[in-house]
Structure 1
Amino acid sequence: MPALESHWRVPFPLQIILALIALVAIAVPVALVITTPRVPQHKRPHVVISKRVVPKTELPAVEPVLIQQVAPEDARSINATIPFSNLPNPAARAFRISGSPETQARAVDCLAAAVFYEAGDDAVGQRAVAQVIINRMRHPAFPKSICGVIFQGQERSTGCQFSFTCDGAMVRWIPRAAAWERARYVARLALSGSVYAPVGHATHYHTDWVVPYWSASLEKITEVHTHLFFRWAGWWGTPPAFGRGYAGTEPNVPKMSRLSSAHYGDPSAPLPEADDTSSGVIVDPATIPASAMPAPMAAADGVGESSNFMLTLPKGMTADAFAALAIRTCGERPYCKFMAWADPRLTPAKLPLSSTQVSAMSFSYLRDQSQGFAKALWNCQQFKRPSPVQCMRAQPPVTPPSGAAPASAGDGKLPAPLAGVRRKEPGPAPGKSQTTLTLPVAKATPAAVPTKK
């Protein structure tokens, strides 16, 4: 037995080696844990919010818009934790503006500026913003006029109710002509009884990448694209709270004078440069009678209707009103092609167009919101315009080959590209203005970046 024990005994030198290996196996991981620098964990910022519900006996305060200092990704995470209200979300009552023509013109242009600078050139977002402004005008916590609501707090460099009124946005850029007319169209709809039901009685909204201090104290009721909409909690967010009447007059807002002839600024201030495509006459699309609007053409497959319009221009209509007629006819369509002829004998009944019809076309308008493009063009051989930029390219009729029967005005047997509607052109050379539709006010500039409330 002693001989067997001696046979299995581990030699002393090997014991030392095994002990060292075990020591290293323990020491190395410990050393790595101790010496490896710690990676700081990302902490979501602390957000201070108020949960107080204002009682019916106390009018809620309208606080300046203050944004919490959080990164956009944190803001989206925080906003996602605020649940949507499960209470009913009834639509607001229709509102129809009253008052003098000057008052109504001021309201339309104030509202158009607000929906454009707040929602960009997006008809759905613009309708939602317009509804919030009308809701505020009817609520006793806010001013009693459209312009008063929009420009509340404009005298402050920070803390105004709509940031574009006090952050210099209206000085830095002016909407393109076609975009401005679309914004005015949305404004007129909202002031003529159109209701955007999804936002209900919302009085507040903000983009999802910011966190206002008031966001969790109100009821979140819906979202439209990247904007979240809220109403006051308790009685002040219910329909009976929105029963106040309209003031019936609109204040003059000097900041609006660059956009609107209904508002006037400092008489000693220099006038903004005019758009070099303007004829000097601005025609409001709302003044175009419904009887002058053509029906859309049938779709190519015969089912439904297309976004193409062809018509004979109404007798006696001035050339300055053609663009207004096109905008009124196209309505809210994101894509629209409007083609018009002064001579009813050359007005085609269907597409494609013959070369004779193309060369005889008197006016064209093309809108493509997906490309941010809208352009009106006149046949300057028929109608004089102040700038060649407004003119179609000359398209002389194609002479048929010798012995061939001439094509009739409506046969469509000689298809040709619609030269009267230009494709989107490259940007202007430095120092030159880029022009679009010839309707409103000042030199065209890039579209505004949506802001938040």
Structure 2
Amino acid sequence: MTQRPILWAAAAAFILLAIVAVAVQLYSRGEFENEEIAIANGPPPPLPQVGLPDAVAPEKELLPVEPETAREMNAARPFSSAKVVAARPFRSRLTGEDLERAITCLAIAALYEAGAGADDQLPVMQVILNRVRHPAWPNSVCAVVFQGAERQTGCQFSFTCDGSMLRWRPSASALASARTRAASMIDGKVEPRVGLATHYHTDWVLPYWSNSLDKITAVRTHLFFRWNGYWGTGAAFGGIPTSIEPRIAQLASYTNAHSVVETPLSEEEAALATGEAAVTETPSVTVATDVATRIELPQVPVLKLALDPKVQPGRWALDALEMCAGRAECRVAGWLDTAAAPARLTRETVSQTAPTFVFVQELRNRTRQAYWDCNRWPKASTSRCLSGGSQAADLLF
């Protein structure tokens, strides 16, 4: 009986030592970088609005200064003296197509934002993964990368809304290397140089928010920032990433995992969407009146299709198939720039203003074929690519 108090005291001392050991470990990792914040009671402060894209009008995102002036101002601002704390390993719960979608989103973002070099890509990937676990942003990789992409301005990553993906496409080897890096980051690799950064910009621009955040490091021409106070500490990055990644139509040409298909495709539709001729009987589909404008011509009807720039040409081909439903012969022409489309479609106007997309249906010849620029959007059947206005006129008239 006399030994029981001694045992209780020893147990209490052991527990206390364990708590101290854990606290020391967390402190060494930087989890208690700001002691007052770490031990404070009560709920965290409200999320700051500085550095979020919707906090100001998009046109005010960058201050109107010349590149050299921006470089001088950026260089004059000192780095934060606080320790740069490495983020915890990401280690996602993603599997199957969801994992494939996340890897592709992360790789594409790194390529367009930082180029092909690993030294530039890894910091960008880390910022994206930091955002996934921060409550100020969506909790999936693809949702973070393409947040705001539906707007012409105000998107989180400019390449998703400024037409970059239409002007340039990474090589297969560059994409493969970026995908390897993305997969390793999603599986727990950490880029320690940027720590808990949630923002970055090139040194030749000056965003309105840069003076309000802690400047923590530079990697080549990129400067990296984190929020000051609680929302820039490790305690704020406790969000659990989702196990479901959204499909991004803009990435459908990179992987089938991002293909956006509302219903299962028939054999004919699948072949059509990949640029191969399809030969089966026409399904019965009613065309919505707001999708196309009927152009009356003496011979074969030519329909004008408003092309959605957010999807791949295979989706346009399926739209054209629906528009031509019930017609023995049908032609469809579409322009990405609707303002450039001729008011009246004739051989002359089409020759002068080449369409982006052409679809031809001739059931008597058992032909349904979509044409587009194979240099811009690769397709399997390279013998049926759209090369210009003259060819488009020959196909349509």
Equivalence for 1:90: 85
Give me the identity figure in percent: 50
The one of 156, 159, 179 equivalent to 2:151 is: 156
Q: What residue identity is the alignment partner of 1:247?
A: T
Counterpart position of 2:139: 144
Do 1:147 and 1:251's aligned partners in 2 also have CA atoms closer than 8 Å?
yes
Q: CA RMSD in A?
A: 2.5
Distance 2:209 2:128 in 1: 18
- Counterpart contact for 1:258–1:272, Cα < 8 Å: no
Paired letter, 1:60: P
The CA deviation at 1:203 is 0.1
Instruction: Summarize the Cα distance change of 1:273–1:132 in structure 2 as closer, same or farther, 3 Å threshold.
Output: farther
Shift of 1:81: 2.1
Superposition deviation, residue 100 in structure 1: 3.0
Q: 1:332-373 CA deviation, whole Å, 9 max, x = no partner?
A: xxxxxxxxxxxxxxxxxxxxxxxxxxxxxxxxxxxxxxxxxx
User: 4+ runs of 1 displaced by more than 4 Å?
Assistant: 266-274, 431-434
Deviation at 1:99, TM superposition (A): 2.8
User: Partner of 1:197 in structure 2?
Assistant: 192
User: What pairs with 1:74-89 in structure 2 (closer than 5 Å)?
Assistant: 74-89=69-84
Is residue 2:215 matched to residue 1:223?
no
Return 5+ residue gaps in structure 2 as ranges.
1-42, 263-268, 277-372, 377-384, 386-397
- Do 1:79 and 1:211's aligned partners in 2 also have CA atoms closer than 8 Å? yes
| Alpha-carbon shift at residue 266 of structure 1 (Å) | 6.5
Residue in 2 aligned with 1:60?
Answer: 48
Deviations 1:218-276 (A, max 9, x none): 000000000000000111101100011111110111111122221014788985779xx
Question: TM-score, normalised to structure 2's length?
Answer: 0.53
Residue identity opposite 1:115 in structure 2:
A
Q: 2:111 is matched with which residue: 93, 109, 116?
A: 116
The question of whether the paired residues in 2 share the 8 Å contact of 1:255 and 1:265 is answered with no
Aligned to 2:172: 177
Q: CA deviation at 1:432?
A: 9.9
2:132–2:144: 8 Å Cα contact kept in structure 1?
yes
Matches of 2:199 and 2:273 in 1, distance apart? 35
Q: What is the distance in 2 between the residues matched to 1:195 and 1:201?
A: 11
Change (3 A) 1:74 1:103: same
Looking at structure 1, the residues matched to 273 and 217 of structure 2 have their Cα atoms a distance apart, in angstroms, of 42
- Are 1:73 and 2:63 an aligned pair? no
Partner in structure 1 of residue 162 of structure 2: 167
- Residue of 232, 239, 244 corresponding to 1:244: 239
Structure possessing the higher radius of gyration over alpha carbons:
1
**Aligned equivalents of 1:218 and 1:193: distance in 2?**
27
Matched, 1:133 2:125: no
Take 2:123 and 2:234, find their aligned partners in 1: how far apart are those partners? 17
Q: Number of aligned pairs?
A: 225
Q: Is the 8 A contact 2:45 2:230 kept in 1?
A: no
Offset of residue 210 of structure 1: 0.2
| TM-superposition CA deviations, 1:395-442 (whole Å, max 9, x none) | xxxxxxxxxxxxxxxxxxxxxxxxxxxxxxxxxxxx9979xxxxxxxx
Q: Distance in 1 between matches of 2:275 and 2:176?
A: 19
Please list every run of 5 or more consecutive structure 1 residues that lacks an aligned counterpart in the other structure: 1-54, 275-430, 435-442, 444-453
Q: Which residue of 1 aligns with 2:395?
A: none
Contact 2:63 2:206 in 1 (8 A): yes
Q: Which structure shows the higher helix fraction? A: 2
Q: Secondary structure at the match of 1:220?
A: strand
Give the deviation of 1:197 after TM superposition.
Answer: 0.1
Q: State the AA in 2 paired with 1:171.
A: L
Report the equivalent of 1:384.
none
Distance in 1 separating the partners of 2:170 and 2:256? 15
